[in-house]
Structure 1
Amino acid sequence: MRILFPVFAALLATTAPAAFAQQARPAPILTTPEAKDVWTHAQPEVARVTHVALDLTADFTKKTMRGTATLDILAAKSAKQIVLDVDDLAIAAVTSAAGKPLPYTVGQDDPELGQALTIQLNGASRVVVRYETKPGASALQWLPPQLTAGKDKPYLFSQGQPINNRSWIPTQDSPGVRQTWDAKITVPTALVAVMSGERLDGAKGQPAGKGMHSFRFRMDKPVPPYLIAMAVGDLAFKATGPRSGVWTEPSQLDAAAYEVGDVEKMIDAAEALYGPYRWGRYDMLVLPPSFPFGGMENPTLTFLTPTIITGDRSNTDVVAHELAHSWSGNLVTNATWSDSWLNEGFTTYFENRIMEAVYGQERAAMYADLDWDGLQSDIKDAGGAQAPTTRLHGDPGATFGQLDYFKGSTFLRTVEQAVGRARFDGYLRSYFDRHAFQPQTTAGFLADLRANLIKGDQALEAQLQLDRWAYQPGLPENAVHVQSATLAQVDARLAAVKVGGPISAVQPQGWSTQQWMRFLNGLPRQQTPARLKELDESLGLSKFNNAYVRSAWAELAIANRYDPALPSIRAFVNSVGRGLLIRPIYEGLMKQGDWGQPIARRFFAEARGTYHPATAAGVEKIVAGN
């Protein structure tokens, strides 16, 4: 049962900060046992942040952000202090809003969680932290001009999920502590700043003196802190509809706008399914290749990888996925990272429904069928159906591979089939309404499902096996597998290849990314050098302009120690920073012992500077054998 923490009424009774007084009632915090966030130093049940106001200047020479964060605090009457999360920030001063110094301490560094910044409130309901980030801040990537599309101006972007934002914003960095925010970002006049909130200035911002100008933003809806995001660069904008558009470097603008051109149809489809889009605009930012994810659902400004730009809109499922997060994740958020499937599993299911509405049932079936393949592969690679990391609810960050996405969406699809689509859609729409702008746990969701969908139907309860899906490893036998007729045709060609048929007979002209992935991932992992050469020469795999295809080809080549593919693989890992596409390459090389491990370390040494800090740290663990 979802409850508010015991001192919440007392917190509301305290004198509210000026900024907070203009806001609606703050989002509740859950304090049920499963809602305790072990990835934060904060004690929000004692004192919590309700609003963050940033005033920061980007210094591209020093690779730092410096300025202030002003935090509105809601505290119990007995609270003496507030605890924030920071990660290697240089704290210069902490004061009250009136400028009175407040005592503070910075705790010992935890290699995973950073430090606790403990501030003595001395009656203050607003605190001002003056600070500077470090050049190696885990959320920030500073790109030199040569790593951008234009090769002329530098670039900066942030990536906060799950807990990286504490390296540039001192706040309570927990998804269960939702906060409103505003910001002024000052940058060189040759560059443009964008953020995940309402834009308050025009394209040129406001003059700030000495070759600088400022841009102001605000988010008046409480969001989890990981959704505060910004980017600075040589950016241009093109509208894709009345409430959507795309930002990117000028040379990529037309291609990016074409690729995401169906976004207004997607917004309409999403609203028809699960209610109004509540964030105003839905703009997108296509980043340089070092962006570590396929997309990031930052409100009002989804961040996208350039690897989706293939000219055929076959990867717009990424756009649909990030849009769906506007309901599942941004509107209703996992309270802790132990329940990240509540964000990603819901969103993957919702994404598929959007794709079906816009592109038809068969295209949606292709995505679902491939997700099923990924689910089976992840369970196998995790160690089998009894592996603890195949549970949906577990230790934060421990779920194997993409099981949060694939097992979570399969769970919801299984419920849909059991109760009927119309009934399930009605339930989900009401679920998003009931829990809008609130955190959620697995236990809370299952309780809501039982109260508002199952309603005491014991036969349905037994059929669904809710607790087994959520808390047990593996895949229940009632799991629904959607099969694609299009991919079945690919399977037929694949079967001919497996028995020695010529590669030239595959005839993949016009294939989408999904068809290519089914084919390449379905090939036997053991191949002769002659067969690999035939594959490469007949299909042009080493020179393919689709990053998904290049990554899948690299995995196959590495599994067979195929040296002729190494120049292509080297070029690929030096030009793409998306973790989903490069991690399997490094993992594959490391599995190849004396042949692959020196190659992995050499490639990483060359490419490291092109990766986002979080990606670089992850790959470093792989090549170190951890």
Structure 2
Amino acid sequence: MRRFAAPLALLLTSTACTTMEAAPAPVAAAADRMVSPILTSPEAVDTLTHAQPQVARVTHVALDLDLDFDAKRVGGTAELSVLAAPGAEEIVLDTNGLEIAQVTDGQGGALSHTVGEPVAEGGKGAPLTIRLDGAETLRIAYRAPADASALQWLSPEQTKGGVHPFLFSQGQAILNRSWIPTQDSPGIRQTWEARITAPAPLDVVMSGVRQGEPEDLGNGRRAFTFVMDKPVPPYLIAIAAGDIDFRAIGPRTGVWAEPATLDRAWREVNDTEEMVVAAEELYGEYRWGRYDMIVLPPAFPYGGMENPVMTFLTPTFIAGDRSNNGLVAHELAHSWSGNLVTNAVWGDSWLNEGVTTYFENRIVEAVYGKQRAEQEAALMFANIRETLAEVGEDAPGTALSTDGGYQLGSAIAYDKGAFFLRTVESVVGRERFDSWLRQWFDNHAFQPATSELFLADMMENLVQGEAEADALMLREWIFEPGLPANVAKPDPAAFAAVDAAVSAYAAEGTIPAGYAQWSSAERQRFLDNIPKQRTAEQLAALNEALGLSGTGNNEELFLWLELALANRYEPAVPQAEEFLAEVGRAKFVRPLFQVLWDQDEWGRPIAQRIYAETRDSYHAVTRGGVDRILGTEG
């Protein structure tokens, strides 16, 4: 990485998981805190931040915040440690809707500051420019807005318990600037600590290690203290608060959930300690201490979020048979790819997600066997093919590295990225590839990275000779659209029996007798590949024979509802309405509203009726996607 750093970057470089068992993290003195480098090469410039880290950057954030569930507001202070270049006069932070009351230096002296005009598009928000006057510490008194896009406040009725409210955050990609005033860019890593007060009897967890037991403040409130002593990208600062309990899995793993969900959640994730061991055997030490999880209420918009020491999970992955535990493997793998080594800009998000998806599949193989891993890889490959067929092989957004934006759907950043690494592995051999990837994590730990840096490291530490470089097609994989010709395709035998059953059903209407004994990946393959145009009679027969509407696996239930609604199957509407009222996961919600909207005069009134009832229950991430589908933005 030093080869890409300008002199100023060298100047700026210095030499969770709350559980009953967690030992407090040592609180480092300011002079001893780890400070990550800033990349200054052109491709590392983040256009989604107002910050100018080459002038002055944040290295540490100390939060002291109160949670107000009645007003749905977070407020208090943020104390920022600043590292500035010689002669720097000001620092620029990111905000989005924050109410700034006062800014002072470390001695309490007022510092002049201005909040600029907000950027309307993309959630970039407004710059907060603070005159430094030599200050190395800034203390910002502020309050987050009630509609902060990173935060979702749930009423008791939106929880399993139905008695207490709930709060959770979702910071990726640039949402945390709506509740924390800092430099909100993945390339500007920061250590942090927090003191959070909340009404009893609610518990608070964060993506940092809890320091001792909560403090009873004597006014019906308790204070919780957390520390993250390793520099992380600010989108990984996360919080959840509610009526939650903890249960241990292994010596360093456990799960939090609402009491009504905890038993099912614990049984579902009980392989987690085994997964951590498998991940370490593959790519080295787990460096975050504990690996805990919290299963949130179903309004959480994603399958999971890899917040350090406290992965956030949707309850929709719980199937009763651990068939969707690739999700847990994925979020665990982020502890290396994404959290340990992070994309410096969001146009390189495949460095997080593609590498993680490859790693996830290797964990699945180690814990659940090669057949399951190959089947799940085949589903990924089908996603890539489907996306490319829809948008075109030469669509710019199908390159892994894009100029300042996002890839066209998860099939590119996640699945194409994973198949890039599978292809490299197939060319150089697993042993040599694993050795290289382990050194990548070791040598770039707690640092940002770019696609150019990744490529340079491959050329220097992996590739042997020009012939191998030509065979790997590295630059084409990373910077060109489509799928390179050398792609290592999944084993066609992985789904041979299922694909034969699909053909038999398409040709003769033969419903597979062994469906109930198939793996979830096999059932998903079948449902996703049978003919899309079905009559009501055919759908009824399929549902009766396979029990599709009664499945406890939400991945399979979603595929059934999508098929049924696309064919205007009236008996599926009540179940779809119930599903969309209970689940806020964008992966399910957006496509179901899309398929209803695509049915014109039949589906649009149904979509509008359901959305009128459910919109306020969705996180801003999910709500924004459905707003665009239904044309109800704003």
Shorter-chain TM-score: what band? over 0.9
1:531 is aligned to 2:531:
no
Cα distance per residue 1:534-555 (max 9 Å; x no partner): 1222223233322111211121
8 A contact 2:105–2:138 mirrored in 1 = yes
Match of 1:560 among 562, 567, 570: 567
Partner of 2:203: 192
Work out the percentage of aligned pairs sharing the same amino acid: 54
Gaps of 5+ in 2: 15-27
Distance of 2:284 and 2:406 partners within structure 1: 33
Distance of 2:13 and 2:132 partners within structure 1: 17
Partner of 2:45: 36
SS at match of 2:172: coil
The one-letter amino acid paired with 1:142 is: W
Match of 1:357 among 341, 347, 366: 366
Partner of 2:31: 21
Distance of 1:599 and 1:397 partners within structure 2: 33
Match of 2:163 among 152, 155, 159: 152
Match of 1:333 among 325, 342, 345: 342
Partner of 1:86: 95
The one-letter amino acid paired with 2:101 is: A
Distance of 1:119 and 1:102 partners within structure 2: 7
Distance of 1:421 and 1:542 partners within structure 2: 42
Partner of 1:4: 5
Partner of 2:127: 116
The one-letter amino acid paired with 1:7 is: L
Distance of 1:510 and 1:57 partners within structure 2: 51
Gaps of 5+ in 1: none
1:381-460 paired onto structure 2 within 5 Å = 381=390, 383-402=391-410, 403-455=412-464, 457-460=465-468
Match of 2:578 among 571, 575, 592: 571
Q: Give the superposition deviation at 1:68.
A: 0.4
The one-letter amino acid paired with 2:60 is: H
1:606-625 paired onto structure 2 within 5 Å = 606-624=613-631
Q: Give the superposition deviation at 1:572.
A: 0.9
Mean alpha-carbon deviation: is it higher for 566-575 or for 339-348?
566-575
Distance of 1:19 and 1:70 partners within structure 2: 15
Cα distance per residue 1:530-586 (max 9 Å; x no partner): 111212222232333221112111211222222221111111111111111111112
Per the normalisation by structure 2, the TM-score is: 0.95
1:593 is aligned to 2:600:
yes
8 A contact 2:320–2:552 mirrored in 1 = no
1:234-245 paired onto structure 2 within 5 Å = 234-245=243-254
The one-letter amino acid paired with 1:133 is: A
Partner of 1:501: 509
Q: Give the superposition deviation at 1:622.
A: 1.6
SS at match of 2:508: coil
CA RMSD of aligned residues (A): 1.5
Q: Give the superposition deviation at 1:625.
A: 8.2
Distance of 1:12 and 1:421 partners within structure 2: 34
Partner of 2:291: 282
8 A contact 2:516–2:546 mirrored in 1 = no
Distance of 1:398 and 1:4 partners within structure 2: 25
Q: Give the superposition deviation at 1:10.
A: 4.6
8 A contact 1:109–1:115 mirrored in 2 = yes
Match of 1:466 among 460, 474, 481: 474
Mean alpha-carbon deviation: is it higher for 427-436 or for 613-622?
613-622
Q: Give the superposition deviation at 1:486.
A: 5.1
Distance of 1:276 and 1:165 partners within structure 2: 29
Q: Give the superposition deviation at 1:506.
A: 3.4
1:487-498 paired onto structure 2 within 5 Å = 487-498=495-506
The one-letter amino acid paired with 1:570 is: E
The one-letter amino acid paired with 1:414 is: T
8 A contact 1:550–1:572 mirrored in 2 = no
Distance of 2:301 and 2:405 partners within structure 1: 17
The one-letter amino acid paired with 1:146 is: E
Distance of 1:510 and 1:397 partners within structure 2: 42
Distance of 1:558 and 1:12 partners within structure 2: 55
The one-letter amino acid paired with 2:227 is: R
Cα distance per residue 1:328-350 (max 9 Å; x no partner): 00000000000000000000000
Partner of 2:69: 60
Distance of 1:315 and 1:427 partners within structure 2: 29
Residues 507 and 213 of structure 1: is their aligned pair in 2 closer, same or farther, counting only changes over 3 Å? same
Distance of 2:113 and 2:70 partners within structure 1: 30
The one-letter amino acid paired with 1:463 is: A
The one-letter amino acid paired with 1:543 is: G
Match of 1:127 among 138, 142, 161: 138
Alignment coverage as a number of residue pairs: 616
Distance of 1:255 and 1:522 partners within structure 2: 31
Distance of 2:547 and 2:278 partners within structure 1: 37
SS at match of 2:622: helix
